[in-house]
Amino acid sequence: MKGLYDALHRDHQRLDEVFETLLNRVHAGDEEAARETWGTFERELLAHMEAEESLLLPLFDRFNPEEAGTIRAEHLGIRAQLAEMGTALELHTLREAKVDNLIRALRQHAAHEEAELYPWADRELPKPAADRLYERLAAVVDAVKRSAHRSSTTRPGPQAP
């Protein structure tokens, strides 16, 4: 099914933009904005991995169980880093280098998936599973747009003197 690779790759690009925003906010020392971005970052990344784990990896297991296991192990490591960083953010101990290391690891993981898993999915994923994956990705993007709209309409304006 042509286009699935592109859709998954675009989702990685969208996530990468959130990663960059988080890194920039941590770099600027804006803890409130970093916490806000962190919530988006964590939700979107977990939703992306969950979609892969529930819709792609069970079928990929039949094709290449070792590679599917490697991707699952990478996801476990990412989840552990997310938990550690979330705690550090709440304790006001999150450092830019830690965020940068996670982003570097996420980019390597994305390249790994795009080299093996996504081309396979583009060629081999049955249409019903591909349709569910498209729907999941679209639902995450819609949720992000709704959340961004709510954030922009609920922020207080300038205060009168």
d(CA 19, CA 22): 5
Tokens found for residue 111: 């390249």
Q: What is the pLDDT of residues 91-134, one digit of tens each?
A: 988 888 888 889 899 999 999 999 999 999 989 888 888 888 88
Contact 72, 49 (CB under 8 A): no
Question: Is residue 26 very low, low, confident or very high in pLDDT (cuts 50, 70, 90)?
Answer: confident
Contact 140, 63 (CB under 8 A): no
Q: What is the pLDDT of residues 52-106, one digit of tens each?
A: 998 899 999 999 999 999 999 999 999 999 999 999 988 988 888 888 889 899 9
d(CA 140, CA 154): 21
